[in-house]
Structure 1
């Protein structure tokens, strides 16, 4: 699987170019599935933000508005009742999974419950585009500061990559670099601090920061 891990989405030409590079062609020739599941686990999100996520309407939903050849909706919490014989082909046939933000631990829970987490190693040609929690869910830990879902057992997530992510640098009052440094003390591993103009591209062993903004790598 190829990864484009963003804080705020495809927000500038550099990140868009990185996406096209991972796809191997323009978005107009790719099919995508939008996954809004993380929205339901965060108290700042809800029906309006989830709707905007899948319709592409501002201020959320930029990923859905990138001119895809075809765009569908995949709600992970519904998949256990649908059956893998139905939903697995939907995922395999998609070129891109667009995974929106919210609470990463809630998203992690439903990725495991649905079976999507187990399927990820087989999706070698699929591009995963994450926004905020949609990126953080692939890291080993998100830190307790970012756990908003009351039923989360801890801050651990899927560990597909070996680094953590502190998103939305300087977007919110509590997301300063000083806050990130304190957060990183409890992570015990490398962590990228990224703003909404920055993304991390992962293609095999190659990890590249793509940015028109501010970022920093904090080593343990």
Structure 2
């Protein structure tokens, strides 16, 4: 699986071009599944209007509205209640996954409970994450980003990449997301940490990591 880990969606031409390069076919010929699950775990974004805005492509963060051939919804909390042959073939056939922001640990929990986490490494799709949808790929997210707490506690996430993410660097509505606080966060994670603003993404292809950006970012190493 190829990963495009964004802070706020595909919101500039550099990130958009990176996505196009990762796809095996044009966007207009590619099928997509959007995953809104992380939104339900975060008090700022769901459930309700913002979840509908993401699914319908009417949010301020371009992902669903990029001109895909088709877009479906994959709600992870529903998957344990239906047979796998109802949804696994769909997942395997999908060209791109569009994974919303919200709460990273809530998303991690339902990726595990649904069985999607086990499928991801074997897929040949492109995974586009936004905020929590990107953070969940790390081995852990850092105590600073723990909101919803999983039954087992801790801040462990999927570990499909060997670095962690601090999104929304210097965002005007998040005064605590400063570079100084990102440095403190990085000291608490056991892997390299990228602090990225909303004009930046991390591209991962065949384990090669590349920063694509029209904004600010910084790599912290342990």
> Structure 1-normalised TM-score?
0.97
- Give the drift of 1:185: 1.1
Distance (whole Å) between structure 2 residues aligned to residue 122 and residue 89 of structure 1: 13
What secondary structure, in the 3-state scheme, does the structure 1 residue paired with 2:144 have?
helix
Distance (whole Å) between structure 2 residues aligned to residue 50 and residue 27 of structure 1: 23
Distance (whole Å) between structure 2 residues aligned to residue 186 and residue 218 of structure 1: 11
Counterpart check, 1:187 vs 2:189: yes
Distance (whole Å) between structure 2 residues aligned to residue 107 and residue 190 of structure 1: 22
Q: Counterparts of 1:133-172 in structure 2 under 5 Å?
A: 133-151=132-150, 153-171=153-171, 172=174
Matching residue of 2:53 = 52
The answer (yes or no) to whether the contact 1:43–1:148 under 8 Å persists in 2 is no
Matching residue of 2:70 = 70
Distance (whole Å) between structure 1 residues aligned to residue 205 and residue 73 of structure 2: 25
Distance (whole Å) between structure 2 residues aligned to residue 101 and residue 83 of structure 1: 27
Q: Which residues of structure 1 form unaligned runs of 5+?
A: none
Distance (whole Å) between structure 2 residues aligned to residue 205 and residue 145 of structure 1: 27
1:51-83 deviations in Å (ceiling 9; x for gaps): 1110111335x2010000000000000000111
Number of matched pairs: 218
Counterpart check, 1:97 vs 2:97: yes
What secondary structure, in the 3-state scheme, does the structure 2 residue paired with 1:117 have?
helix
Distance (whole Å) between structure 2 residues aligned to residue 141 and residue 217 of structure 1: 16
Matching residue of 1:129 = 128
- Give the drift of 1:173: 0.2
- Give the drift of 1:156: 0.7
What secondary structure, in the 3-state scheme, does the structure 2 residue paired with 1:160 have?
coil
Distance (whole Å) between structure 1 residues aligned to residue 147 and residue 49 of structure 2: 19
Q: Which residues of structure 2 form unaligned runs of 5+?
A: none
The answer (yes or no) to whether the contact 2:50–2:59 under 8 Å persists in 1 is no
- Give the drift of 1:151: 3.9
Counterpart check, 1:106 vs 2:111: no
What secondary structure, in the 3-state scheme, does the structure 2 residue paired with 1:65 have?
coil
The answer (yes or no) to whether the contact 2:34–2:99 under 8 Å persists in 1 is yes
Matching residue of 2:117 = 117
Distance (whole Å) between structure 2 residues aligned to residue 2 and residue 91 of structure 1: 15
Distance (whole Å) between structure 2 residues aligned to residue 109 and residue 151 of structure 1: 7
- Give the drift of 1:20: 0.4
The answer (yes or no) to whether the contact 1:105–1:157 under 8 Å persists in 2 is yes
Matching residue of 1:12 = 12
> Structure 2-normalised TM-score?
0.96
1:130-171 deviations in Å (ceiling 9; x for gaps): 000000001011111111114451111000000000000011
1:18-74 deviations in Å (ceiling 9; x for gaps): 0000003321110000000000111111111111110111335x2010000000000
What secondary structure, in the 3-state scheme, does the structure 1 residue paired with 2:43 have?
coil
